[in-house]
Structure 1
Amino acid sequence: MGDSTGTLISPAQEKALGNSFFRSIRAQLKISYDPDVQQYIQSIGQKLVANSDNPTQDFYFFVVLSDDINAFAGPGGYIGINSGLILNSDSESEMASVMAHEIAHVTQRHIYRSYEASSRMSLPAAAAMLAAIVVATQAPELGIGALSAIQAGSVQMQIDFTRDNEQEADRIGIKTLERSGFDPLSMPIFFEKLQLASRYYGEGAPEFLRTHPVTSSRISDTRGRAEQYPYRQVPDSQDYRLIKAKLRAGSDKTKLNDLFVYFKNKIDQGTPEQRAAMQYGLGLTFIKKQRFSEAKEIFQSLNHRYPQQREYLTALAQVAVNQRDFETAKSYYLQLQQMYPGNPQYQFEYISILLKSSQPKLALQYLRLIDYRYQQHPRYYLLLARAYGNLDEDVNLHRYMAEYFYALGQTNSAIMQIELAQKDKGLNFYLSAILDDRLNFFQAEIQALKDLQM
């Protein structure tokens, strides 16, 4: 862990801590697994990382489905961006400026220098503590309870970036932003908007302002640095417009009629690309209204005009699945896999359709082709469990459901699934040994968390 002498954890420990941290985040926050959203945020993140001061460091970017304006960095290069921040940005460069800032917090090791922990703290306990701090900023009713339990164990830890940390992240973030082809002025512009908004929010100010205080001097400093670069006009990508439309349409807090009116009113405004994004949002609203024929007509027109835009293909596939036209849906996801080879999210969608069309053996064949880097993903385990369940192989059904729950940070549920698998009468020695080993592992993690709360 980090300590006051500057000693830092090893790369292997950092990776393990990051993975455990992300499992805890999954257990408590709603994360988007939409293939288009994940493909987009990861591509923007990697573009920034490639132009950062540590381009070889591993990062994983994800979107938290929350209306709050926030972003956060965790150990192991895990960076979360709230959908609320994306929707409240007025340009792609503004969104990217926050991501570049968070990347700098990671590359400069601010996360590890911002807290001190007992040297006796286990990895799952440390990860749970970090996750509890993040969750307390996102969903106070969830996070405060977790923090209180841990503080009862006389262990104190906090992520509290200093003013110097923030200035350094701004300075390096602006440099990364400019190198990546974004507008460096977007950082002070976004900060100014947040500061102005905070005057109206009062105590309900955006969480980003509470974890990353924005002062007038900080805005002035970032503006001064940004103005050192030549002026450039950076247009938004169509992916950015479409992902904003998708996140808006996917919000559970907005009434369907309000969504319909929003997209309908903007459908004739702006450039052809901007109008297309509003048509796309309207089509997604039609899906939510179960008006599939009207949605399909919109997406077919958009796909004809913009055949390389992946979002229109996934939307057509979504309509086909809703209409139980699985062959058509599979053809769309095969096209997407050709456009984005190795993308696990489109592979998962294709396999899911195989299962819906009663082809579990074929689904297992495709699951074996998934790159090993993505075989720890919750959806990988869920699809494995469903495939084996469809084949009446209950031992493997429960075995992989256990891994699914563990990947989601629900270790107690994982233990229950292992115990169900152990009761199967057809259990062989090999599987029995695997189940015993995983049960011991899960139980040890639960005990470590209990020890922290004592």
Structure 2
Amino acid sequence: MKLFPKARFKPAVIAAALLMAATLASAPSLNAQSANLPSFGGSGGLIAGQQEASIGQQVMTSIRRSAPQIEDPLVYDYLNNIIYRLVPSAPLDNRNLSLVLIDSPALNAFAVPGGVVGVNGGLFLNAATEQQFASVLAHELAHLSQRHFARRMEQNETSAPLTLAGMIAGIVLSAVTQSDIGIAAIAGTQALALQNMLAYSRAHEQEADRVGMDILASAGMDPRGMPEMFEIMMRQNRLQGNQMPEYLSTHPLTQSRVADTQNRAEQYPSKRVQDGQEYHLMRSRLQVHYANSAEAAVEIFESYLNRDDVQHHDAIRYGLAVAYQQNKQLVNAEQILRDLLDKNPGRITFQVTLAEVLADQKRYEDARTLLQSALARNPGNYPITWSLANIEIADGNGAAAANYLKDLSRQRPSGDQIWLRLAEAEGMARNIVGVHRARAEYEVLMGNLRSAQRQLRQAQEKLPAGSAERQVVNERLSDIASRLQETNRS
């Protein structure tokens, strides 16, 4: 069983993204001269809260269509947990965030209006500690809380008005590929405006540093992780020469800023915070994911274990188990995972990975028993439930898989892959109405409202008049019709 797809940046992906950019850039302009725009932050400006939510939705749609994403539920669950450990300490008006895991080994993260926070897989590779990793997230939450992107737009509105749709396309393309490709997708003078707005000002960066370090300290994490992470970025920048890390193209970093964060960090109470083990487990998973091959990953992790100064020993052993799994050395993987579970009974990451190894050996009943027991102790857990659904599909039990996936769809209605997998499970169970309904929700998330409408009409035709399910379908059709009318008006 594949842990998660190895998506790479391919010409087809870039071409699709560029096509979307051209479409979005030709959308009706929402420039600074529009008299109907509500004010931002109560002081006049380009973006108000409602518009920010709309931007966030459109950015997520664009990312789903164009960006290679990491679909691994264990990594996503970790990211969700660490973000929401920080959120209570962040001065955010809207704490309902949308998280994105971009499948790229480059060091990058971003936050855009509407509460979208994106992280490249490469951030795990470059941040040696959880405190360093969390510092980047806290910095991005600080940008969101201070509405720096919108303030940047306000500063540029008189000299370089930018369409809202073009801005969205540029943000997404810059996150998905390279900044210059995203900028090139926006025609004329808008390209320069976008380039200016993608790069935060020195004042905004300093403010995000200060607010981000306060967030870290308040959340019980170590603010010293921020200057440590900046040092890593500076070192990488020196090593790469002209090819700076993507993150630094939008977050300018100087030696004086590093020194300023170091001085500021020393003003917090002196206490070292222990990393959670889960961070290093996820880091190992992604090191396997980005290895040149499964065989190379095995060699890397075996060499780690042979070092005298090995740190995070269990995380390294776990990485070796994942590498063995990918390299089809399933007996070796199982042995390591059972040893780890003996030392850490109940750790979900070990249970889910062991169940996947058992399923790879077609030992579905063993895998099912292990995960059902884990789910009973952790009701609603996303990685456990997702893995159980996959095991049921592999074992030909579509109806059972559909039940698990319906539970997940209620927890994460914005999870496009959940709806796609649910459609597959319903098809296996020969529930054609269920296929159409799940497929419709997937199409909505992908921005294909007319396709969603067609799917729901097909479901409607197969349901008896007056049935409760037909009423639900009718209500969803009405909602989509309203959204289509709004789209046509704009």
Tell me by how many angstroms 1:269 deviates.
Answer: 4.0
The number of residues matched between the two structures is 438
Q: Give the equivalent residue in structure 1 for 2:233.
A: 194
Kindly indicate whether the alpha-carbon contact (under 8 Å) linking 1:129 and 1:150 is maintained by their aligned counterparts in 2: no
Measure the CA separation in 2 of the matches of 1:92 and 1:322.
31
Kindly indicate whether the alpha-carbon contact (under 8 Å) linking 1:42 and 1:62 is maintained by their aligned counterparts in 2: no
Measure the CA separation in 2 of the matches of 1:366 and 1:126.
39
Partner of 1:174, secondary structure, is: helix
Measure the CA separation in 1 of the matches of 2:409 and 2:428.
23
Could you tell which deviates more after superposition, 224-233 or 333-342? 333-342
Q: Give the equivalent residue in structure 1 for 2:324.
A: 286
Deviations 1:301-354 (A, max 9, x none): 111111132221111011122122222222333344345433334323222323
Deviations 1:30-56 (A, max 9, x none): 222212111211111111112223497
Amino acid at match of 1:112: A
Kindly indicate whether the alpha-carbon contact (under 8 Å) linking 2:436 and 2:458 is maintained by their aligned counterparts in 1: no
Instruction: Please state if 1:102 is matched with 2:137.
Output: no
Instruction: Please state if 1:321 is matched with 2:359.
Output: yes
What does 1:53-64 align with in structure 2 at a 5 Å threshold? 53-54=91-92, 57-64=95-102
Partner of 2:312, secondary structure, is: helix
Measure the CA separation in 2 of the matches of 1:400 and 1:221.
51
Of structures 1 and 2, the one scoring higher in RCO (CA 8 A, sep 6+) is 1
Q: Choose the corresponding residue for 1:92, options 130, 135, 148.
A: 130
Distance 1:171 1:438, change over 3 A: same
Q: Give the equivalent residue in structure 2 for 1:214.
A: 253
Q: Give the equivalent residue in structure 1 for 2:281.
A: 242
Q: Give the equivalent residue in structure 1 for 2:13.
A: none
Measure the CA separation in 2 of the matches of 1:211 and 1:405.
32
Q: Choose the corresponding residue for 1:76, options 114, 117, 120.
A: 114
Partner of 1:80, secondary structure, is: strand
Consecutive aligned runs of 4 or more in structure 1 exceeding 6 Å deviation: 154-157, 270-273, 441-448
Amino acid at match of 1:201: Q
Measure the CA separation in 2 of the matches of 1:150 and 1:397.
46
Q: Give the equivalent residue in structure 1 for 2:269.
A: 230
Amino acid at match of 1:220: A
Tell me by how many angstroms 1:10 deviates.
Answer: 5.5
Q: Give the equivalent residue in structure 1 for 2:218.
A: 179
Kindly indicate whether the alpha-carbon contact (under 8 Å) linking 1:115 and 1:159 is maintained by their aligned counterparts in 2: no
Could you tell which deviates more after superposition, 326-335 or 96-105? 326-335
Tell me by how many angstroms 1:106 deviates.
Answer: 0.8
Amino acid at match of 2:257: R
Structure 2 unaligned regions, length at least 5: 1-37, 158-162
Q: Choose the corresponding residue for 2:77, options 30, 39, 45.
A: 39
Distance 1:15 1:442, change over 3 A: closer
Measure the CA separation in 2 of the matches of 1:392 and 1:48.
44
* TM score, norm. by length of structure 2: 0.78
Instruction: Please state if 1:358 is matched with 2:396.
Output: yes
Could you tell which deviates more after superposition, 107-116 or 125-134? 125-134
Measure the CA separation in 1 of the matches of 2:464 and 2:439.
19
Distance 1:420 1:108, change over 3 A: closer
Tell me by how many angstroms 1:209 deviates.
Answer: 0.8
Amino acid at match of 2:174: A
Structure 1 unaligned regions, length at least 5: 119-124
The share of aligned pairs that are identical, in percent, is: 30
Measure the CA separation in 1 of the matches of 2:287 and 2:195.
38
